[in-house]
Amino acid sequence: MEATMEKTIKNLLISLMVMVVLLLGNIFLNGPVELSAFLSLIGGFLIAAICYGRTLVDRTKK
């Protein structure tokens, strides 16, 4: 149980880092802030959903 919690926290941190990188990348490329915030939000949620889906698949295989 603790191992899955650590993996979940790690995956959420990865998705948070991707959100921040996308946000900063678009700001430095002089993109509109609204677009960069939207892109980072969507990217982070996609990564979190993929990681959570893998966790669910791993649990059902056992």
More confident residue, 41 or 3: 41
Residue 55: per-residue pLDDT: 66
- Model confidence at 12: pLDDT above 70: yes
Would the pTM count as exceeding 0.75? Answer: no
Element (H, E) at 2: helix 2-28
What is the overall mean pLDDT for the chain?
72
31 CB contacts (<8 Å, ≥6 apart)? none
Residue 59: per-residue pLDDT: 65
Q: Contact, 51 vs 14, CB < 8 A?
A: yes
* Rounded Cα–Cα distance for residues 42 and 29 (Å): 19
- Model confidence at 50: pLDDT above 70: yes
Positive or negative CA dihedral for 54, 45, 8, 11? Answer: positive
